[in-house]
């Protein structure tokens, strides 16, 4: 029985998928809506992802409105962690110095809000 179990574990490990690389880019407001520069940065991030997809990389994007003043979240998942790491580096450069634009490495699912 142990021999069968060990063989089964080996098969599972052999076919295990590499972990995906998931991160989100936020464009936030400060009481007067999201700035044009923040929205422009999100557009540039979307273009970067679209370019990667056109090059054949496997990447998914979820776009969400997260606030009442136009706050937005782009959550991006690269199937291959190396591709995602390169994208994160490029996006960090792209958004550097733009107020209220944040890059956060986190899962794409937003927490479900419940009322007490």
- How does DSSP assign 14-44, residue by residue? HTPPPPPEEEEEEE-BSSS-B-HHHHHHHHH
Instruction: Please report, for the chain, the start and end positions of each structural domain, with discontinuous segments joined by +.
Output: 18-104
Q: Which CATH architecture has domain 18-104?
A: 2-Layer Sandwich (3.30)
Question: Which residues partner with 103 through β-bridges?
Answer: 25
Report yes or no: 49 and 61 within 8 Å, Cβ to Cβ.
Answer: yes
Average pLDDT, the chain: 86
The secondary structure of the chain in percent helix, strand, coil, rounded to multiples of 5, reads: 40, 25, 35
pLDDT tens for residues 4-37?
Answer: 444 444 545 555 666 899 999 999 998 889 999 9
Is this prediction's pTM over 0.85? no
């Amino acid at each position: 029985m142990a021999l069968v179990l060990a063989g089964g574990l080996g098969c599972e490990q052999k076919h295990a998928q590499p972990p995906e690389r998931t991160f989100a880019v936020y464009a936030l407001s400060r009481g007067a809506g999201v700035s044009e520069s923040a929205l422009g940065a999100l557009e540039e991030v979307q273009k970067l992802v679209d370019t990667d997809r056109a090059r054949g990389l496997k990447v998914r994007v979820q776009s969400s409105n997260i606030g009442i003043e136009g706050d937005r979240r782009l959550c991006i998942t690269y199937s291959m962690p190396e591709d995602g790491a390169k994208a994160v580096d490029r996006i960090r450069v792209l958004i550097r110095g733009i107020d209220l634009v944040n890059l956060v490495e986190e899962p794409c699912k937003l927490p479900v809000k419940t009322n007490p």
